[in-house]
Amino acid sequence: MSKQRLWATLVRMKTLVGKGLRFLGTLILSSILFVSFLPAAERLPNHERTLLLAKDWNPSIDPTGWWISEKYDGMRARWDGTNLWSRGGNLIHAPGYFVADLPKNTHLDGELWYGRGGFEETVSIARRLQPDERWWRLKFMVFDAPKLEATFEDRVEFLRELLPVDGTHARWVEQVKCEGVEDLIARRDRMVKAGGEGLMIRRPGSAYESGYSPTLLKVKPHSSSVATVIGHKSGKGRFSGMLGSLRVRSEDGREFSIGTGFNNEERSSPPSIGSVVEYRYRGLTKNGIPRFPSFLRVRKN
């Protein structure tokens, strides 16, 4: 190759590299500008996310004197005086008329509730970025005041004075004293027969604390819990080509399978790996594995 042709080739290469670098620089700058105009993450700070969570009641625990309320089958929510947040710390885009019914500068813990049997509808409404007219049907059932350093009874009295029991959007949850195991089971059975999910009971004099606590227990016909999906097993026979069972890991690290409770749609499009599912069961084996686990739903924050 002559010196002249070599020089021309080098010039062309320099020009192409220069254009490439300019294009890359423009692309990076555009990306930075695009990201800078994205809305800020609508997430509650980690230290504010943890709520008081319930364990299961068992007959060895005497409920006499505990406080009873309905277990609302809705979506857990926390009010920080300005916004509503989900259990997982995501902003709930409630309409202005709904939040206008909530007290300012007060933290409240409760459940967004569409009505008995309305869990799926509640989640559908609350997860929308643009609220729709169905919000008129939702109620915020308030059962605690997380930031108030007082006994449960004093916090309930605070809520009673703050909120009406029949408010348009926000309501105080009524509490009644339990007279014993027979009273508790009878109330639970009446609630379930009426279409409710069950009851919650709260130890008298207890404080509000973060995480699972023995001071707050759920009373249902079956025990229930949550687990993380770690695998799928293909079905056989009439379930061929669909999900046979989920392999899951419980919060205490135990692994087991859930093979019942799914409809055909859920078997055709099963919960994804890493998702959290709720299941019910009938006691534990000697190894701590849930007996007869049955799928209920995917847990949504």
Provide the token pair at 165.
């029991």
276 with 227: CB under 8 angstroms?
A: yes
One domain, residues 167 and 104: yes
One domain, residues 95 and 205: yes
One domain, residues 141 and 282: no
100 forms beta bridges with: none
Mean pLDDT across the chain: 85
Domain that holds residue 120: 46-219
Active-site residue identified among 71, 139, 220, 300 = 71
- Residue 155 backbone dihedrals phi, psi, to 5 degrees: -70, -40
pLDDT value of residue 46: 57
One domain, residues 29 and 55: no
> Which pLDDT tens digit goes with each residue over 116-162?
988 889 999 999 999 999 999 999 999 999 999 999 999 999 999 99
One domain, residues 99 and 192: yes
Residue 29 has pLDDT above 70, yes or no: no
pLDDT value of residue 12: 55
One domain, residues 186 and 111: yes
Global pTM? 0.69
One domain, residues 9 and 144: no
The residues, ordered by sequence, that sit 6+ positions from 60 with a Cβ below 8 Å of its Cβ are none
Active site residue 147: no
Cα–Cα distances (Å) from 180 to 63, 65, 201, in that order, read 6, 8, 12
Q: What is the CATH number of the domain that holds 252?
A: 2.40.50.140
**Beta strands 255-258 and 276-281, pairing class:** unpaired
**What amino acid occupies position 279?**
Y
**What amino acid occupies position 55?**
K
Residue 291 has pLDDT above 60, yes or no: yes
The residues, ordered by sequence, that sit 6+ positions from 187 with a Cβ below 8 Å of its Cβ are 68, 178, 199
Q: Mean per-residue pLDDT for 235-250?
A: 94
- What HEC string does the chain produce? CCHHHHHHHHHHHHHHHHHHHHHHHHHHHHHHHHHHCCCCCCECCHHHHCCEEEEECCCCCCCCCCEEEECCCCEEEEECCCCEEECCCEEECCCHHHHCCCCCCCCEEEEEECCCCCHHHHHHHHCCCCCCHHHHHCEEEEEECCCCCCCHHHHHHHHHHHCCCCCCCEEECCCEECCCHHHHHHHHHHHHHCCCCCEEEECCCCCCCCEEEEEEEEECCCEEEEEEEEEEEEECHHHECCEEEEEEEECCCCEEEECECCCHHHHHCCCCCCCEEEEEECCECCCCCECCCEEEEECCC
One domain, residues 33 and 65: no
Provide the token pair at 222.
């079956």
One domain, residues 210 and 99: yes
One domain, residues 2 and 26: yes
Residue finishing a domain among 173, 195, 219: 219
More confident site: 298 or 221: 298
Q: Mean per-residue pLDDT for 267-293?
A: 89
One domain, residues 60 and 90: yes
In angstroms, how far is CA 7 from the centroid of its own chain?
67
For the chain, the domain total comes to 3
pLDDT value of residue 266: 94
Q: Mean per-residue pLDDT for 76-102?
A: 93
Residue 25 has pLDDT above 50, yes or no: no
Least confident of 28-37, 209-218, 292-301: 28-37
One domain, residues 133 and 267: no
Provide the token pair at 231.
């695998």
Residue 35 has pLDDT above 60, yes or no: no
* Dist CA 289 CA 269 (whole Å): 26
Q: What is the CATH number of the domain that holds 148?
A: 3.30.470.30
Provide the token pair at 206.
């207890």
Residue finishing a domain among 167, 194, 219: 219
